[in-house]
Amino acid sequence: MRRHYLMCRPTHFAVDYAINPWMDPAEPVDVVRAIDQWTRLVETYRDLGHDVDFIEPLPGLPDMVFTANGATVIDGTVLGVSFKHAERAAEAPAYLDWFTRAGFPTQAAKATNEGEGDLLLAGDVILAGTGFRTDHAARAEAQELFGRPVITLQLVDPRFYHLDTALCVLYPTPGSGRPEIAYLPEAFSPGSRRVLERLYPTAIKATERDAAVLGLNAVSDGERVVLPVQASDLARRLASEGYEPVGVDMSELRLAGGGPKCCTLEVRR
Ligand code: ARG
């Protein structure tokens, strides 16, 4: 249950450009409030018994707080990222450098992939979102490096541009007797919905209301699920399925299209 997360203080947080529909550069953001909400998230993880490491925030990279997009780390091996948008490109080498210094074997990305935003480990398989950011070609790289089958899921709603805004892995292995994932069906193409139905017949289907507050952008340790406090339907549903919902307010970071999961990169040794 104990997890290891990498996070980045939103010291330079801003909405200076718009690369997803949540971002409106004309709307003011409160950096102090963002830092405060992020600090609570760190404290929440520590209270749950998790380890948190930090990467130095770099000036001019306002989205660097979203560490989920910095890498994919499975079995101690790191796949680097390559961002779709030039605005975030400089984050990729910074993350790779952090992992190299920390002693991890790393492989730079060839195809565009935005880390755990789109590549979610679910037990033996990797669920890979595509459609807005991560390229199809990234699947092969991830499958080859991690030795796990990669299942492609086609995202169709621009508000849910990363897989981790539309789907949350709750429990890594089947057979727990609980739903293994929660997702918003409407965020996926018809074929991908059928794939999800087939693989996870007992999944929690989130409501539009939950997804609209980025409720699916949640972090589960298999028992406790840290999610936006505004996602009340999902919290109730999780509790009824035997999970413990832990609400956090990330409303300021949501102005950039991010929630708790976006701010959290899982480091799997
Ligand atoms: N503004 C950032 C972007 O559009 C938000 C990233 C959110 N991260 C995530 N894992 N969903 O790239």
Q: Is 63 in the pocket of ligand 1 (CB under 6 A)?
A: yes
pLDDT at 68: 98
C-beta 266 within 6 A of ligand 1: no
How many whole angstroms from 224 Cα to the centroid of ligand 1? 23
- pLDDT at 125 (0 to 100): 96
CA of 122 to the centre of ligand 1 (A): 20
Mean pLDDT in order along the chain per 10 residues (269 residues): 95 98 97 98 98 98 98 98 98 98 98 98 96 96 98 98 98 81 98 97 96 98 97 97 97 98 97
pTM: 0.97
Which atom in ligand 1 lies closest to the alpha carbon of residue 162? 11
Q: What pLDDT sits at residue 172?
A: 72
Q: What is the pLDDT of residue 238?
A: 97
Nearest Cα residue to atom 9 of ligand 1: 262
Distance 257 CA to ligand 1 centre (A): 6
**According to the model, what pLDDT value does residue 1 have?**
78
Q: What is the pLDDT of residue 173?
A: 74
3-state secondary structure 107-157: ECCCCCECHHHCEEEECCEEEEEECCCCCCHHHHHHHHHHCCCEEEEEECC
> Among 91, 88, 170, which Cα is nearest to 127's?
170
Distance 163 CA to ligand 1 centre (A): 10
* Cβ of 256 less than 6 Å from ligand 1: yes
Residue nearest to atom 1 of ligand 1 (CA): 256
